[in-house]
Every structure is written in structure tokens, then in C-alpha cells.
Chains A and B, each alone.
Chain A
Amino acid sequence: MHVLLRQLNRVRRDARLPRGRPASLAVRHVDAGSCNGCEHELQAAASPFYDLQRFGIGIVASPRHADILLVTGPVTTRMREALLAAYAAMPEPRLVAALGDCAMGCNVLGDPAALAEPLEELLPVAVRIPGCPPTPDAIAEGLLGALDGGLPRVA
């Protein structure tokens, strides 16, 4: 009896909690030639201080499971094919996000001969998160903004 009451109380308490976000976002990351700064910060965004998972944003192992392709780096010639293959493997509807200044085509350093077209020309970029590298806060803000603002509908 006592146990039952306690469970009932817990259900009542939980019912008063604010509702969470109505959707979740499965993220597949592809490093297309970054300096490793964006990777460190994306990992930090999933670490104890930020814990992106509690908002329904999780990093998944395969593009087959992903809603959004999160691309870092300026896209090197040697990563171009793998990047396009990862995008092709995603189920529709699918989205592309540019993480960091390099992926957004800003202040890219490097020899043009070693770099492919900018990401914007290769894939339909819907979300842009600037920074060099973007801080974990900025990454969380960018992805949550995409989730809250209603993700652009892509066929």
C-alpha cells in the first residue's frame, strides 16, 4: 500500500513537470578536413557539463540512423567522395548542418588544389553554426534552435 502511494505521488509530480521538446534529432558527424577543434567541442557538448542527450539530441553511429548530417572542415578533395556517400546513405527527409567557420566557407586556410568545392555547393546546407571552433554552448544553441524553430522541410 505504502509503495503504491509513493508511486502515485511520483506520477502526480512528474505530470506537473514542463513538457520536453516534441522531437528528437539523430546526428551523424562527418569530419571533412577539420583541425579537430570542432570534434573536441562536439564531444564536449555530449559531456557532463552540457549533456546534449537530455534535449533529445544524440550522436548516432551510422548515416542510416541519422536525421541530420553535421559536417566539419572545409571539405578536402580526399574527403569529398566519403562525405557524399554518407549523405546518400541517409534516409529522407534529411538535413545538412555546417559546424564551424571552415564548413561555412569562412576564412578557410589551405591550398585550393587540396580543397574540393565548399560544402554549400556540394550539399543543401540548412543549419549553420559559426565559430572557430563553436563552443559547446554554441553547438547546443544551434542544434536546439533548429529543433525549436521547426526544421526546414526537405523532401
Chain B
Amino acid sequence: MTLAVAKPTAADVPLPLWRKAVAAALDGGGRFAGAYATDDGDELRWRVLVAHGALVRSLACRSAARRVPSVVDLAPAAGWDEREAHDLHGLGFDGHEPLRPLVDHPADPSAWTVPMTGEGVHDVAVGPIHAGVIESGHFRFHLVGERILALDARLFHKHRGLERAAQGGDADHGLAHVGRACAACHVASSVAYAQAVELAQGRRPSDDLRVARTLLLELERLYNHLNDVSAVCAGVGFAPGAMAFAALKERAQRLNARLTGHRFLFGSVAVGGSTLALSGGAARTAGEAVRSIGDDAAKAWRSLMFARSVQARLDGVGVLTRDDAVRLGAVGPAARASGVREDVRTTSPRLAYGDLAAAVPEAPAGDVRARLQVRALELESTCAVLGELLASGEIAPGGVVTAARDAPNFGTGLVESPRGATLCAVELDGDRVARVHLRTGSYANWPAVAHAAAGNLLPDFPLINKSFELCYACADR
């Protein structure tokens, strides 16, 4: 099926001016937020998205020869995006050398790993199937003894082609593909998609819908952060902490099931609405449940502070410096633990976060301890936001109002998932999806995990990995 490509929001940038235009967009605190290729048969369009707070600027260029200038030196965070476009759309990037495969999996390791030679250098290959109940992904460690020199992560074993499958389908149905990219980030990705479609249709959420979506997003953060603290405890082999927080996560998921009928909140987000409806009494009861979980989490956290076998393992492990976090485009708790004071929730005009501030620990050392501390701080603020919204009484599913007379047919949604800024871009052709692109917090942060692992001991990698606790599913799509 061929589909007309949605009209660009601004004129395409001529190729010779492309790098200058991207550099200008990044000037003054612009954050590279994603990029994707659109194939309309004759030519390829390459679109780069730059976020300034809640505002997402879009720049596009076209190439019939399927080659565009790389911007990876201006925005190193674009490295994966350019490699993905090369693998999935055959788009070449001048100046991106070597352009290693990312989504494609050639058999020869030299095609996708950084060459390492020297006395005593050896490789350890792990995965794609891991020892525990873990998602599939392959890690190639280059070591001297037990010390990690470098790590090449080969993900996309779970690539299901969800974006391609959504193309040509109904705009409302596209939600099924985007929402199922990842269960743990279901609400964040779904809200980002719904926002993008609504913007493309010239509509905006009503006040009720903002509240309902904010509630759903924070319920998702609650069980995820509890899970992540449990995972770090498991990473140091501390069963009491792992069990305590796993039990709290279970309570949070049972609350999800009571409120929405699903433990992962599946089906609660819709384009132009939500299915969350609570009477005043039900909202009060839910508020009490959240408070009880929050109190018990605070107690469990305090006892963790006195567990010496845990405390001795957290400092100086898996350090991601502030400069590296910014350079690599890290987002979410991982970036905040390195001192990057950014949280999409603080600038979300289409949600109801009030005056929420980004949580940065007192000593943002960028190590495992700092990443754990951000989770603890955010558990507090998440319970506070949930308590406040649930105390306001009845929760209505909400709807949308038409804001613009003309539908631009192109829209973006930006949401803070439990793992960081998640962006969804949608191009519509009438009621149909011409192109959808999802770039989640996990996708943004994977290069930072590989970077933070270098210089550490191999046995510490599971702990480092769990302190980021990224999803493979929503990166692979």
C-alpha cells in the first residue's frame, strides 16, 4: 500500500544547509529528541526532532540518492537513530564512519564491535538468552582480566516491526502497536502517541483528561520504581530488600488492577480520552492505598540504608559523568542522577503536574547509589502527586476539545516515562497513520549503559545494568 506522506510543517531544508540548520536548532539548550526516515518510494525524507522544554521543533530534508549529511558530531545522541535508519531504510549518512549495523545482525562480530587488541585482551559474549528471567539482548564485553575495557551491546533481538505494522492502519488502532511496544512503559508510550495524534488532528485534551492521564502515568511510575529498587537489591544479592520491594510492587500492581482492570494498566489510554473513571469514594480509597504503599516503601528504604552489605556496593560503580550524560543524550532518572536537572513532567502543558520539580540527589555522582536515590526521591513525589489528584474527588475519563481549525496532520507527544523522556511522532493521512515513530527513554539511555560499564569489573555489570533498569522491548519495538 502506498500512502501520501503528510505535509511537512515547515519547508524542507536543502541538503547543503542541513548541518547548519540542525546546529541552529540545537543552539540555546535544544535537546536532540529523535529522528526517523520516511520512505515514499522515490525519495527518503529524514526528520530530526529537537526539544526545547515541552516544545518539539521538527526539521526535515529529502534525498532521492538516499544520502544525507550526518549530524552525529553535532549531536552524538543521534548515533543510534542514524544507524537504525541505515538498517531499516537504506539511508546513508556522510561523515558517520564507521556506520555500524544496529538493527541488522550480521554474523561477523567485526562488523558491529569496536576492535580491541593488546596483551591479554579477550572477549566475553553474553546472551541473547540470559540466566534469569530477563529480556533478550546480547552483550559483547572486551576485557583484560575482569576489567571491562569496552562493551558493545547488540539489541533489537526483539524487533517486531511495530512501527511498520501500524502504517496504513486506523489512527486509533495505531495505539495498539505503540502501547504493546513495552508493557512496563505502556502508559507513557500510549499517552505520547495519543498526544501526537490529537495534535495532528488539531485537538487538545480537556482538563479532566489531563488529570486522568497524569494519574495513569504516575501509577505506572510507582510500580516501576518499586521494581527498580528491588532489582538493584537483587543485583547485589540482598534478598530481604529485593523481596520487600517486589512485594510493594505487587501491591501497586494490584491497585492498578482494581482501578483499571489491568495490572499493567493496558487499555486505560485512548486517543481523545481515557477509560479511568472513579467515584469520589473510590478515589479516596485509592488515595489511602497509595499512602500506605508510600509509607511502607519509605520504611523499607530506611532499613536499606542500614544494610551494610548493600551500602558497600553502591559508591563509584558504573559512573556516568554529567558531561557524558549530556553528550550521549541520557534522560530520566539516569540523567538526573548525573546532575542533569531535566524532567519532562516539569514542562508538560498537556498534563496536570502543577509545580513539580525535577528530583536530583544531593550528591549527583552518576553512580549506582545516585541512580537508586533518584528512584527513592521520585517514589515520594509520585505518591504525593497521586495523593493530591485522588484527594480532589471524582475522576472523570475526560475528552478532547478542538483547538485548531486546520489539522496539521503532523504531531508529537513528549512524556516522562519511568525511564525518561519518551517521544512519539505521528504523521497522518486523513484518518490513517502514514508514519509513526516511538523513541523511548530506554532507547535514549542504552548507549549510556555501555559507556558507564567501561572501567568496571565484569561481575558488577548486572548491578550497573539494573541501576539503569532499561527495557529491551521498547528500544527494539
A residues sitting closer than 8 Å to B (CB atoms) are 29-37, 39-44, 46-49, 59, 61-62, 73-74, 76, 78-79, 82, 86, 109-111, 113-115, 132-133, 135
Contact = CB atoms under 8 A, between A and B. Distances in A.
B132 A59 contact: yes
B181 interface: yes
A120 to B, nearest CB: 18
Contacts of A115: 160-161
Given A48-B243, A109-B176, A78 B263 contact: no
Interface of B: 105, 128-129, 131-136, 156-162, 164-165, 176-177, 180-184, 186, 227, 243, 246-247, 249-250, 253, 263-264, 266, 471-474, 476
A70 to B, nearest CB: 9
Given A36-B473, A39-B134, A47-B243, A79 B157 contact: yes
Contacts of B129: 30-31, 82, 86
B180 A79 contact: no
Contacts of A33: 136, 157-160, 476
22 contacts: A31-B129, A36-B472, A37-B183, A37-B264, A39-B134, A40-B184, A40-B264, A42-B133, A46-B133, A47-B247, A47-B250, A62-B131, A79-B136, A82-B129, A109-B165, A109-B180, A110-B160, A110-B161, A111-B160, A111-B161, A111-B162, A115-B160
Given A31-B134, A61-B132, A76-B160, A132 B266 contact: yes
Given A31-B135, A32-B136, A109-B165, A40 B160 contact: no
Given A76-B157, A111-B161, A111-B162, A44 B246 contact: yes
Contacts of B132: 59, 61
A111 B165 contact: yes
Contacts of A109: 160, 162, 165, 176-177, 180
B250 A49 contact: yes
Contact of A35 (B156, B161, B180, B250): B180
A35 B181 contact: yes
A84 B434 CA distance: 36
B192 to A, nearest CB: 16
Given A48-B246, A78-B105, A132-B266, A61 B159 contact: no
Contacts of B182: 35-36
A109 B157 CA distance: 16
A44 B227 CA distance: 10
A36 B189 CA distance: 14
A46 B247 CA distance: 11
Nearest to B155: A78
B210 to A, nearest CB: 27
A22 to B, nearest CB: 26
Most buried by A among B158, B250, B253: B158
A139 B173 CA distance: 29
Contacts of A73: 158
A35 B178 CA distance: 11
Contacts of A135: 263
Most buried by A among B132, B183, B243, B472: B183
A78 to B, nearest CB: 5
A43 B243 CA distance: 11
A114 B159 contact: yes
Given A82-B128, A133-B264, 19 more contacts: A30-B136, A35-B473, A36-B183, A40-B227, A41-B263, A44-B253, A48-B243, A48-B247, A76-B157, A76-B158, A76-B159, A78-B159, A79-B136, A82-B136, A109-B162, A110-B162, A111-B160, A111-B162, A132-B266
A121 B462 CA distance: 34
Contacts of A48: 243, 246-247, 250
A74 to B, nearest CB: 7
B157 A82 contact: yes
B387 to A, nearest CB: 24
B73 to A, nearest CB: 30
A64 B93 CA distance: 45
A59 B134 CA distance: 12
Nearest to B135: A31
A44 B128 contact: no
Contacts of B180: 35, 109
B295 to A, nearest CB: 18
Contacts of B247: 47-49
A1 B329 CA distance: 71
Contacts of A111: 160-162, 164-165
Contact of B158 (A29, A62, A78, A132): A78
Contacts of B474: 36
A78 B157 contact: yes
Contacts of A61: 131-132
A113 B184 contact: no
A55 B434 CA distance: 50
A-B pairs, 6 with minimum CB distance: A111-B161, A37-B183, A110-B160, A114-B161, A61-B131, A47-B246
Nearest to B128: A82
Contacts of B164: 111, 113-114
Contacts of A29: 133
Contact of B160 (A36, A37, A114, A133): A114
Contacts of B133: 29, 39, 42-43, 46, 59
A113 B176 CA distance: 19
A72 to B, nearest CB: 9
Contact of B165 (A32, A40, A46, A110): A110
Contacts of B161: 110-111, 113-115
A34 B162 CA distance: 12
Contacts of B159: 33, 76, 78, 114
B238 to A, nearest CB: 15
